[in-house]
Structure 1
Amino acid sequence: MQSLEISAGAGATRLADAFAAIERLSETAVDDLRRMVAVDTSFPPGAGYDAFADVMEQLVAPLALDCERVIVPEELWRAPGARGRRTNLLARRSSGRPVLGLNFHVDTVPAAPGWTGDPLQLARDGDRLTGLGAADMKGSIAAALLALRAAQATGLPLAYDPMLLLCTDEEAGLYPGVRYLAEQGRLEGHVLNFNGSAMPRIWAGCFGLFTLTVRVHGKAAHAGEQRGAGANAIEAALPILSALSALKPLVAQRTSALPPPPQAAGPLTASLDISAIHGGQCGGQIPSEVEILLCRRYGPEEDFAAARREIETVIAQAAGALDVDVILSGHLAPTSDPSGPHWPRWQTALSAGFGYAPEEFARWGASGCSDFGWVQQATGMQEVLLTGLGKPDSRIHAPGESTTLADIVALAKSVLAYLSAEFRPELSPEAMTPKKDLA
């Protein structure tokens, strides 16, 4: 499959050389991924972004990309559990060609209990590479760097100027970095988002998500004192938890028209989860506060304000006279239909890298979320290309998250094919546009 795709066009030999260079240089991607995994960028709290930007500036320096750090103002992202500077890194080549944004979120979820090794130390077992963020999505960054390294080594001419967008707070938070870049007018051209799968997929869009931090206040006291000296916040929260549990199946009845993944047993549905509870300190003290984290996923057909109001109403009714705070602590807007004129070229490039046949591709959405709903709202940009390293066995967000070197190599080939000036130019909308209109 790959040889057939590459052989089309006068630049076949040079692109084939670049593909061979990806194979030859593949171990550099493992080294890059090892360095990236070693930097803790988990959110919450999101305190490792500056350190990650330091590493990335070192990795892109040999590729002659110009780097710029863009900081999201704290007043935009401040929320419970968040701390550390929100440092986004832009790394780009500026030769006057159309721009392709390569978008990555650099944060991971916190390591869940159950890891058998250090999640911040990349482990290798043959082709399998295991570490926190290996698949979502530091492995994708390694693949893009490998593609650019091979292009540089072979002198492959590019149709697009790559602009790496290494962004903060996609996994959670109020104000993802790419949203800030979009609102500041820093996005150019079209964008390839790596928050997806290594599968023959045509993206149909995705759900939105918001998190609410619920704080129930009590009164601390010695647990051995007479009744009434304190107010147990954890016990006071039980009616709220019961009411939220009752709401959960009602929310799950709401279905979306988004086409579900091929492996799904039914339509995509909304969800409400009680994701975390924190409270109390020791057995001898009545707890004065309990904090509950709620996660609500909502389809494009739902209204965010109505979904939030529904939860807050249930909490208020269950709380009665209790002292309760409800704080919006994270929000990603739904991504609507992201189709557009560049998708046929990207689909063909995926086939060149992974060997997919055209009939294997299917169009589907996800109840997972993306920060590109904000980009669509801020810029009017409808089209968003999607790729990544997620597969059913990747264990994303779970102990033992992993990818494979073979998939990193295949993704690097797909990215390189898409960037190449000699790969299927008839599928490039820019190639079909008079040059005077590209300025």
Structure 2
Amino acid sequence: MVRAVAAIARDADSAAGELARLIAIDTSFPPGNGYAAFADLAEALTAPLGFDHRRIEVPEALWCAPGAPAGGARVNLLATRRTGRPVCGLYFHVDTVPAAPGWSRDPFHLAREGQRLYGLGAADMKGTIAAVLLALRAAETCGVALAYDPMLLFCTDEEGGLYPGVRYLAEQGLIEGHVINFNGSAAPRIWAGCFGLFNLLIRLRGEAVHAGEGNRAGAGVNAIEQALPLLGALRDLKPVVARRHSGLPPPPHASGPLAAQLTIASAHGGGSGGQIPALFEIVVNRRYPPEERFEDALAEIEDTVRAALPAASGLSLETSVIGHLIPTEDPTGPHWPRWQQALALGFGYAPGDFRKWGAASCSDFGYVQRTGMREVLLGGLARPERNIHGPDEHTTVDDIVALARSVLAYLAADFAADLNPDKAESKSWRLA
């Protein structure tokens, strides 16, 4: 273990090089066209470590919603290495959000500036893949005996997809043992669960005519202009939604209790100054706490939309849910104390530093819990100042090394063996 921890620090530059290769593949969702190419790279990076591979595609009928912007095969990759030990799943979502306006660097080219590593997905969450590979390589090189056979889960469509890859894998019974989800924070956190979300596509159709026909009565229906009352109604609904608070404990950096959220996430229509626009599409993102029912939150928006569009508007209306993640309930369980201790070793946290909190950010593990796997460990590279989902997202070399050390410790057979619930002589579990 001592030699392997030192090897992780020495090998940090190679981890940055691997991260550069991961970032260079565009896996933005939507649309999610880069999953097969990413699986190719993941196979190439894990094969030297003795992993076998299996690709599983989510059937198109499950993830393809009418009018949704998703496209391309939903290729998930399972990388396994069997020795007969208990299995520990190591989960990554391979998709990123699209690059936001305002990047000062090429989002698909890793930029290293001192300790900082800039690139789309550097923190959420391709950097965690580089960290785990760094840990596994150090264990292999230094002959560290492992307590678990690692199962690497490279999964699709976490960023608001209609049918995330890990959901399909869980429902097919392909996930074994317990799982560490790396879609989390580098902070000393005990995960209390999180909100759900859905994305609702609102499609409004008018009638296209020449823009110069405005002097003729009844010429065309401008979908954008006629939708303005609807946009106003959604804006007015936003503070109503935000008054609904969750009982989940908020993060230490939050300004108050976690609240439900409604966001007009995108609006698109028209294409020419010479034409009355006949189509206007709006995507509303709704984040709902475990105390709310999805059906109620959806009905509230749909009722608001219908009330804001009287028949005299001349518009036809269609709505479609194009993405949905359900809430994740409290995932703590018997493996948490040992994972906590591994995080403390890797990042240098004291036992008293850890706090339990939830989040309005969402996870695809609510679907995994629905299959019966309640416990989920959480770690990652997220920090409030890392600008995840925004321009110039970044992580640091130090955090990648720290996470790698945590993963190495957790997988190692001789680390905190008395806290390992998969060993007969382990103590009963409790949260520190």
Per the normalisation by structure 2, the TM-score is 0.96
**What SS is found at the alignment partner of 1:103?**
strand
The corresponding residue for 2:430 is none
The percentage of counterpart residues that share the same residue type is: 63
**What SS is found at the alignment partner of 1:186?**
coil
Q: Within 5 Å, which residues of 2 pair with 1:293-332?
A: 293-321=283-311, 322-332=315-325
The corresponding residue for 2:51 is 65
Cα root mean square deviation, aligned = 0.9
CA distance in 1, matches of 2:136, 2:90: 12
- Deviations along 1:30-88, one digit per CA (max 9) or x if unpaired, are 11100000000000000000010011111111101111101000010003100010000
Deviation at 1:433, TM superposition (A): 6.6
Q: Within 5 Å, which residues of 2 pair with 1:276-355?
A: 276-321=266-311, 322-355=315-348
Query: Is the 8 Å Cα contact of residues 93 and 125 (structure 2) preserved in structure 1?
Result: yes
* Residues 1:135 and 2:135 are matched in the alignment: no
Q: Which of 104, 118, 122 is the matching residue for 1:116?
A: 104
The corresponding residue for 1:45 is 31
| Unpaired runs of at least 5, structure 1 | 1-14, 435-439
Deviation at 1:432, TM superposition (A): 2.4
CA distance in 2, matches of 1:184, 1:200: 33
- Deviations along 1:300-321, one digit per CA (max 9) or x if unpaired, are 0100011101111111111222
Deviation at 1:340, TM superposition (A): 0.3
The corresponding residue for 2:424 is 432
CA distance in 2, matches of 1:328, 1:265: 31
* Residues 1:263 and 2:263 are matched in the alignment: no
Deviation at 1:206, TM superposition (A): 0.3
Q: Within 5 Å, which residues of 2 pair with 1:93-242?
A: 93-225=81-213, 226-242=216-232
Q: Which of 386, 398, 403 is the matching residue for 1:406?
A: 398
Q: Which of 382, 388, 396 is the matching residue for 2:388?
A: 396
| Unpaired runs of at least 5, structure 2 | 427-432
**What SS is found at the alignment partner of 1:68?**
strand
Counterpart of 2:387 in structure 1: which amino acid? Answer: R
**What SS is found at the alignment partner of 2:162?**
coil
Q: Which of 339, 351, 355 is the matching residue for 1:362?
A: 355
- The number of equivalent residue pairs is 419
CA distance in 2, matches of 1:366, 1:241: 27
Query: Is the 8 Å Cα contact of residues 158 and 421 (structure 1) preserved in structure 2?
Result: yes
Counterpart of 1:385 in structure 2: which amino acid? Answer: L
Counterpart of 1:410 in structure 2: which amino acid? Answer: A
Deviation at 1:228, TM superposition (A): 1.7
Query: Is the 8 Å Cα contact of residues 209 and 276 (structure 2) preserved in structure 1?
Result: yes
Query: Is the 8 Å Cα contact of residues 70 and 87 (structure 1) preserved in structure 2?
Result: yes
CA distance in 1, matches of 2:302, 2:385: 37
Query: Is the 8 Å Cα contact of residues 216 and 236 (structure 1) preserved in structure 2?
Result: no
CA distance in 1, matches of 2:300, 2:376: 31
- Deviations along 1:11-40, one digit per CA (max 9) or x if unpaired, are xxxx11110111121111111100000000
Query: Is the 8 Å Cα contact of residues 426 and 432 (structure 1) preserved in structure 2?
Result: no
CA distance in 1, matches of 2:375, 2:8: 28
Deviation at 1:212, TM superposition (A): 0.2
CA distance in 2, matches of 1:323, 1:218: 7
Deviation at 1:385, TM superposition (A): 0.3
Counterpart of 2:317 in structure 1: which amino acid? Answer: V
CA distance in 2, matches of 1:320, 1:72: 40
Counterpart of 2:389 in structure 1: which amino acid? Answer: H
The corresponding residue for 2:240 is 250
Query: Is the 8 Å Cα contact of residues 418 and 425 (structure 2) preserved in structure 1?
Result: no
Query: Is the 8 Å Cα contact of residues 46 and 82 (structure 1) preserved in structure 2?
Result: yes
Q: Which of 375, 381, 392 is the matching residue for 2:368?
A: 375
- Deviations along 1:202-221, one digit per CA (max 9) or x if unpaired, are 00000000000000000110
Counterpart of 1:429 in structure 2: which amino acid? Answer: P
Deviation at 1:343, TM superposition (A): 0.4
The corresponding residue for 1:437 is none
CA distance in 2, matches of 1:121, 1:35: 9
The corresponding residue for 1:5 is none
**What SS is found at the alignment partner of 1:393?**
helix
CA distance in 2, matches of 1:159, 1:87: 29
Query: Is the 8 Å Cα contact of residues 71 and 88 (structure 1) preserved in structure 2?
Result: yes
Counterpart of 1:371 in structure 2: which amino acid? Answer: D
CA distance in 1, matches of 2:407, 2:338: 11
The corresponding residue for 2:412 is 420
CA distance in 1, matches of 2:79, 2:408: 17
Query: Is the 8 Å Cα contact of residues 209 and 331 (structure 1) preserved in structure 2?
Result: yes
**What SS is found at the alignment partner of 1:228?**
coil
Deviation at 1:423, TM superposition (A): 0.3
CA distance in 1, matches of 2:342, 2:393: 26
* Residues 1:385 and 2:377 are matched in the alignment: yes
Q: Point out 4+ residue stretches in structure 1 off by more than 3 angstroms.
A: none
Deviation at 1:227, TM superposition (A): 3.6
Per the normalisation by structure 1, the TM-score is 0.94
